[in-house]
A and B are shown apart, each in its own frame.
Chain A
Amino acid sequence: AQSVTQLDSQVPVFEEAPVELRCNYSSSVSVYLFWYVQYPNQGLQLLLKYLSGSTLVKSINGFEAEFNKSQTSFHLRKPSVHISDTAEYFCAVTFTGGGNKLTFGTGTQLKVEL
């Protein structure tokens, strides 16, 4: 069975500072990895995904994540955050042949302060 661990439940950071949100997964088979963002009172939006190919994937708003198979990690990074990045971020995994069933982590609340 697959599982996802997000060790940090909350990450406070000042505006324009860098941030890293950690995600580790457990799976005995090949996986596909995702980061979703949830703004207050809204549904989840896909931020970026790793399916295959380059292990470094990027979003249109400056986030990036790197798939590290040896460390079973998919950490999310941004070199300079903005107030508007304040939201909850969920890491999720599915696996080949798994019927597209997503397993989510418990989420990390990113709070950007002035």
Chain B
Amino acid sequence: EAGVAQSPRYKIIEKRQSVAFWCNPISGHATLYWYQQILGQGPKLLIQFQNNGVVDDSQLPKDRFSAERLKGVDSTLKIQPAKLEDSAVYLCASSPGGAGGATYEQYFGPGTRLTVT
């Protein structure tokens, strides 16, 4: 089966510009996650969707970050305006179960490396 797809793979922007990332999860996976991985750190969850509803966005900087998952399939993450500290790899993951489901394995995409100058 196809894995989690993300685009673009790399993006360089100047601070105060906007940027959007796209993610297509594994077919049939109900839950979708966006993580931010800053160099030298582990991934940090930004937002979790179950189908097209938000389960957890407690660590999403809502003043500049937004995400949506229309129709419960693919998702976009947007940053507007970007700051230097947003330079990171943005990882998308999906899992088959719902938020309270029996399966806990998450499948990750290759990530989008964002550099803000």
Contact = CB atoms under 8 A, between A and B. Distances in A.
Contacts, number: 63
Contact of A101 (B4, B41, B56): B56
A44 interface: yes
Contacts of B108: 36, 43-45
Contact of B109 (A34, A43, A104): A43
Chain A, interface size category, equals 20 to 34
Interface of A: 4, 9, 32, 34, 36, 41-46, 49, 51, 90, 92, 94, 97, 99-107
Given A32-B104, A43-B110, A100-B31, 13 more contacts: A42-B111, A43-B108, A92-B42, A99-B48, A99-B55, A99-B99, A100-B99, A100-B100, A102-B43, A104-B42, A104-B43, A107-B40, A107-B42
**Which 7 A-B residue pairings sit nearest by Cβ, starting from the closest?**
A104-B42, A43-B108, A99-B99, A44-B108, A43-B110, A104-B43, A106-B42
